[in-house]
Amino acid sequence: MEIRDATEDVDRPLWETGEERILASAQWIVLATRSDLDGEVEIEVRVDTDREERTAEELLFDGELRRAVDHRSGDRGGNSLTDLHHISLPIGWHPLRIYGDPPTDPARFTVLVDRRPTSG
C-alpha cells in the first residue's frame, strides 16, 4: 500500500531486502501488508489529529510526508487499483504516524495526520 504525493516515480523508495515493513522518503511511504490472498487490507485516515492521540495498534512509522504538488491543477491519472483515496492537504510538511495490526503483515492500518504545531 502507498501513501504518496509524487505523481511520477520521483522519490520512490526502493526495497533493499524485501523484509522491510515500511519504506519512506520525503514524498512517498510504502507499507508492507498481508497478502491479497489472505483477505482485504483496511486503512483509516484521520486528519488534524492531536499529537497525544493514539490507537490500539502498534506504531510502525512516526515521521513527516512532504506535499509539494497541487494535484487539483491539471489532469491526474489513476484507476480503481491505484487511485482509491485522495486527501486534500496544503503544500508543505505534514507530521504523520502510521499504526498497524498485527505489526507483521498488517490487515489494518490507521494513519494519523497530526495538526501542525503552532509557532510561538
At residue 6, the pLDDT reads 64
Exposure class string for 12-25: b at 16+ Cβ within 10 A, else e: ebeeeeeeebebbb
Q: Residue 70's domain spans which residues?
A: 33-114
Whether 11 is in a domain gets the answer no
At residue 101, the pLDDT reads 92
Whether 110 is in a domain gets the answer yes
Residue type, 25: S
Whether 77 is in a domain gets the answer yes
Q: How high is the mean pLDDT in each 10-residue block of the chain (120 residues)?
A: 76 86 90 87 89 90 86 42 67 91 88 71
The total domain count for the chain is 1
Cα–Cα distance measured from residue 19 to residue 17, given in angstroms and rounded to the nearest whole number: 5
- Count Cα neighbours of 4 within 13 Å in the Cβ-side half-sphere: 21
Whether 76 is in a domain gets the answer yes
The C-alpha cell of 76 is what?
491526474
Cβ atoms of 100 and 106 closer than 8 Å: yes
Beta-bridge mates of residue 65: 94
Whether 73 is in a domain gets the answer yes
At residue 24, the pLDDT reads 92
